[in-house]
Amino acid sequence: MFKVDLRRLIVLLAFSSSLATLIYTLVGTYNAERDLLIENTLESNRAYAAKLATSTDQFLDNLQQQLAYSAQLLGTHIHDKTLRDNEAKRLQQQNNSFNSVIIVNSNGAVLTTSPPDLGLTGKILDSVGASQALSLRKPLISPPYVGLTGRLIIFMSYPIIDPSDQYLGYVGGSIYLHQDNSLNMLLGDHFYRDGSQIYVVDHSRRLIYHQDSMRVGEIIANNPAIEEVIKGNSGETELVNSKQTSMLAGYAATRKVGWGIVVQRPTEVVLYELDALLKKVARNTIPFYLLTSLLIWWLGSRIAQPLRQLARSAPNLDSPHSAQQITKVSAWYFEAAQIKRALLIGLQRLSKKIGRMDLERNTDPLTGLLNRRGMDGALQEWQQDSKNFAVLTCDIDHFKRVNDTYGHDVGDLVLQFLADMMRQHTRTGDLICRVGGEEFFIFLPEQSQQEAFQVAERLRQAVEQSESPSGSHITISIGLSHWPSYSDNLAVVLKAADQALYKAKHNGRNCTMHASTEH
């Protein structure tokens, strides 16, 4: 009967164990990074959609202010044709916000248009926007509607009131959603790489902006992101679009007109980046695996040799040379220990690689501080050890102004500058985290609220007195709470620190506020 020799069994077992470890490492890494990439992409898209929603609200507010200024001027000069013509031309041409501008009297007759060749002067308009403006007699942003030319239009107007509060008519501007204007530029200022998309819908699920202008006016059904955003919700979701492409979508609603903005990126593109990362890990790991396999084959041969010697010595125990042979076999245990040590070294190297990947997942790449994932893990350990700690939540005052004035590159340098200041004014065992944007947390173990307040004030004053990378001084606002003195519920403590931060912002910024004792 054929029996497999021990050397082959050892080599087979060692190879299969190493291969299983390699596969487990690669698959585990892939799954962990896949979840992280999808989570980060969804959050990034949600944040970008929220930013666009805010920018759109600000843009519409600005247009209404422009119309309000013109309406105030026309309130005392509506019969001055030259002034009317100049004002309509200015509104239509100064920043490409309106595709056309009209000035209408209280009877609904058009007095002036820009461009002047619209052929509407003297006529009474019965379009949706014009009728609403005339009947409501108050500032208006109409819902999108199809005009006489078949174009999808948004009409904005502002009433003209004379000094005696008599209604004289209105000044209005039309935004053609199929044509170039400032609104399309605002929403279209995006690099449409790798299939990423931005689109805007109104309450009726009608597309009022899309990178493909031919789709403007199209009604979109069975889209979970659109269903949520028209309810006024913001968030993120995975969905399959009308072309049956899997997308990672973030969405947000505008405050002023209730439009929904959706930012989405193909899931396949996101995972393509992960595949590239996995190939890189494989390139670094497989050579080590092959080297380890070669070492295992050699060690397997070495293991089999003394065992064969022992087997040959067994029938000859009465031989005068048996003691010498057994002595030689005793070295077998030393070699086995060395093999075990070699395997442990191999596993240790793989563990270090996984550890480095885990560190990257828990660290903010810009500042080198812990991110929210790392923060949650550390706080969980502290709670398990019943370690009390003070909580400081910090936020840069007017940070948006830094980005708008100096650019996001300088804004990143300011964030790194603040992170360094936090390191300088905390102890080695303190925990510093960046949880998003310009918001930071500092956790001070075994410190009272009064001691933490002193730390916060020293940090705040040091930041205020130091010149930031922007070339000017910045300030920070700080909220303070304590676990478990404030509450034994960590979520309540963190929320209290946030509320204290908001209170500091409300009280003029550049100060430190304690959490309210009423909870």
Residue 258 scores a pLDDT above 90: no
pLDDT number for residue 340: 39
Report pLDDT digits (tens) over 338-387: 443 443 354 446 446 655 666 667 888 888 899 988 888 888 888 888 88
Residue 256 scores a pLDDT above 80: yes
Share of the chain above pLDDT 70, in %: 84
First to last CA, the chain: 80
pLDDT number for residue 339: 40
User: Contact, 168 vs 160, CB < 8 A?
Assistant: yes
pLDDT band at 171; cut points 50, 70, 90:
very high
Within 13 A of 138's CA, how many CA atoms are on the CB side?
Answer: 1
- Out of 121-125, 142-146, 186-190, 245-249, least confident range: 186-190
Q: What is the mean pLDDT of residues 170-183?
A: 86
pLDDT band at 315; cut points 50, 70, 90:
low
Of residues 75, 101, 96, the one with CA closest to residue 86: 101
- 195 vs 176, residue with greater confidence: 176
CATH of domain 182-269: 3.30.450.20
Q: What is the mean pLDDT of residues 457-465?
A: 94
Residue 438 scores a pLDDT above 90: no
Instruction: Name the class of domain 60-176.
Output: alpha beta
pLDDT band at 518; cut points 50, 70, 90:
low
- Known catalytic residues are 438
State the DSSP string of 58-96: HHHHHHHHHHHHHHHHHTTTTT-HHHHHHHHHHHHHSSS
Note the residue count of the chain: 519
Strand partners, 156: 141, 173
pLDDT band at 127; cut points 50, 70, 90:
confident
State the DSSP string of 381-421: HHHHTT--EEEEEEEETTHHHHHHHH-HHHHHHHHHHHHHH
Coil/strand/helix, residue 226: helix
Q: CA-to-CA distance for 174 and 103, rounded, in angstroms? A: 12
Instruction: Fill in the DSSP letter of residue 109.
Output: B
pLDDT band at 515; cut points 50, 70, 90:
confident
Residue 503 scores a pLDDT above 90: yes
E strands of 162-295, at which residues? 167-176, 197-201, 207-210, 235-240, 246-253, 260-266
Write down the mean pLDDT value for the chain. Answer: 82
Q: 372-514: what fold?
A: Alpha-Beta Plaits (3.30.70)
Q: What is the mean pLDDT of residues 512-519?
A: 78
Q: Domain-by-domain residue ranges, the chain?
A: 6-37+275-357, 60-176, 182-269, 372-514
Q: What is the mean pLDDT of residues 156-173?
A: 94
pLDDT band at 26; cut points 50, 70, 90:
confident
Report pLDDT digits (tens) over 143-163: 888 876 677 888 999 999 999
pLDDT number for residue 190: 59
Report pLDDT digits (tens) over 209-236: 888 878 888 888 888 888 888 888 999 9
Q: What is the mean pLDDT of residues 52-76?
A: 91
Residue 459 scores a pLDDT above 90: yes
Tell the residue number behind the tokens 């980005």, with chain if given. Answer: 403
pLDDT number for residue 341: 47
Identical topology for domains 182-269 and 372-514: no
- Out of 230-244, 272-286, 428-442, 468-482, least confident range: 272-286
Report pLDDT digits (tens) over 387-420: 899 999 999 999 999 898 999 899 999 999 999 9
pLDDT number for residue 217: 82
Residue 184 scores a pLDDT above 60: yes
